[in-house]
């Protein structure tokens, strides 16, 4: 098993652990929780490990789901306090297979970032359509929102812990 697959397994385990900590999870239908888990499995860090972050919000008679890999905060040593955004690929075919019908599929790119909104955000893939019979707008973001904070901490000894 490749090292990056270990990261994906960690991501899925973390989603399960976080279920009890997310206050809005109780307001989300179970099918939406399953969609988030399936979508998280579509991410694979190109090196190391990473953690999928997400946000689910009701929107226009359906749901908007935003997914991204959280930053990694370095702890200790000369890199202490620095953060890095993980490189990754996302299996879009797997994401598309979660939809019963696709009404919109687009890729938006901001070469210089989104400015004040999220300077690190450079690209978003958006899939809109039906998951089962429910309307969903799924966004795969190139980076975490500025307000998200780190997803993982990496220590000088190589140890990694989730935040």
3-class DSSP state for residue 7?
A: helix
What's the whole-model pTM score? 0.74
Q: What is the pLDDT of residue 22?
A: 47
What pLDDT does 81 receive?
75
In whole angstroms, what is the distance from residue 143 CA to residue 15 CA?
Answer: 18
Say how many C-beta atoms besides its own lie within 10 A of residue 156's C-beta.
Answer: 12
Q: What is the pLDDT along the chain (163 residues), one digit of tens a residue?
A: 344 444 544 555 554 555 444 445 557 899 999 999 999 999 999 988 889 999 999 988 899 999 999 887 888 888 777 778 888 999 999 999 999 999 999 999 887 766 566 656 688 999 999 999 999 999 999 988 878 878 888 888 888 888 8
Residue 160 and residue 13: Cα distance in Å, rounded?
Answer: 14
Calpha distance 37→82 (Å, rounded)? 29
């Amino acid at each position: 098993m490749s090292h990056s697959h270990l990261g994906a397994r960690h991501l899925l385990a973390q989603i399960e652990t976080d279920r009890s900590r997310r206050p809005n999870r109780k307001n989300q239908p179970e099918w939406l929780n399953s969609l988030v888990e399936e979508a998280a499995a579509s991410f694979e860090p190109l090196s190391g490990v990473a953690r999928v972050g997400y946000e689910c919000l009701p929107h226009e008679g359906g749901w908007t789901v935003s997914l991204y890999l959280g930053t990694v905060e370095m702890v200790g040593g000369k890199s202490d306090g620095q953060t890095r955004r993980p490189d990754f690929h996302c299996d879009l075919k797997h994401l598309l297979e979660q939809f019963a019908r696709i009404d919109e599929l687009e890729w938006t790119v901001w070469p210089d970032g989104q400015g004040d909104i999220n300077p690190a955000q450079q690209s978003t893939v958006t899939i809109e359509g039906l998951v089962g019979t429910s309307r969903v707008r799924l966004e795969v973001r190139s980076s975490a929102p500025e307000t998200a904070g780190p997803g993982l901490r990496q220590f000088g000894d190589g140890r990694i812990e989730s935040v």
